Amino acid sequence: MSHKILIVDDDPHIRQVLAFALGKAGMQTAEAGDGESALDAIAAQRPDLVVLDINMPRMSGLDVCRKLRAADDLPILFLSSRDDEIDRVLGLELGGDDYVVKPFSPREVVARVSAILKRGGRALEEAGALRPVTHGKLRLDPQSWEAQWDGAPVSLTVTEFQLLLLLASLPARVFTRDAIIDRLHGPGFAITDRTIDSHIRNLRHKFASAGGPDLIETRAGIGYRIGPCRGGSA
């Protein structure tokens, strides 16, 4: 069954170009020209991923993301103007999985959509097929895509789950940002360090709220590794 992608942009030409490119890649597409229509379309028939423009009139893509993240971990790929770096970072911190900067190549959008939909193929390989990974009070189940802290569920986006699964699967290893990008998306994938840092901040915030402030350690000048995950004080 092909994946269904909802394209949300107030520019009909961009929607048409992306619909053609994604369709050529074997995906089904639906379109929405504004945030309100996007939320209605998602409620009517949930897609597998949303390509979401940040800058739209009335309801911005960031507002749409906020509403979705209140109750859903639906994957989101943001479309952003070149000069809107603050919005891009905010979009990731709100729970976006990735972003593409306008003007973009349709091929790049397809590649990033495909990378998200693979649901962490490389991360799953590191996890040893589909066996659950337990580390301290953290438990990750790749089959059900569920994360738990001390038995309580923690809602994660696709990319957050992928990243955490990678770190937890190799607890002795310190991963550079480039190594994380290579494992999740493949070598040469154009993602900035700030993107990885935003996902790390999101994970720390979510698990700190659940009683796990020691989820991820930073090794200065190197990168990240999974923390002891014992809870209590970091």
pLDDT (tens digit per residue) in 156-180: 888 888 899 999 989 999 999 888 8
Pair 185, 209 in one domain: yes
pLDDT bucket at 127, cuts 50 / 70 / 90: very low
Whether 27 is covered by a domain: the verdict is yes
Q: Which of 117, 136, 155 is the last residue of a domain?
A: 117
Whether 233 is covered by a domain: the verdict is no
CA distances (Å), 188 to each of 79, 158, 211, in order?
Answer: 20, 20, 36
∠ CA 105-107-112 to the nearest 5 degrees?
A: 100
- Does residue 147 contact residue 164 with C-beta atoms inside 8 Å? yes
Q: Which residues, other chains included, contact 186 with Cβ-Cβ below 8 Å and sequence gap of 6+?
A: 115, 122
Q: How many domains does the chain have?
A: 2
Q: Which of 72, 96, 117 is the last residue of a domain?
A: 117
pTM of the model: 0.67
Q: What is the mean pLDDT of residues 189-213?
A: 83
Question: 232 exposed, middle or buried (CB, 10 Å; 0-12, 13-18, 19+)?
Answer: exposed
Pair 10, 109 in one domain: yes
Whether 205 is covered by a domain: the verdict is yes
Give the CATH number, domain containing residue 178. Answer: 1.10.10.10
Pair 104, 135 in one domain: no
Whether 234 is covered by a domain: the verdict is no
Pair 92, 132 in one domain: no
Q: Which residue has the higher pLDDT, 57 or 194?
A: 57
**pLDDT above 50 (res 187):** no
Q: Which domain holds residue 204?
A: 121-226
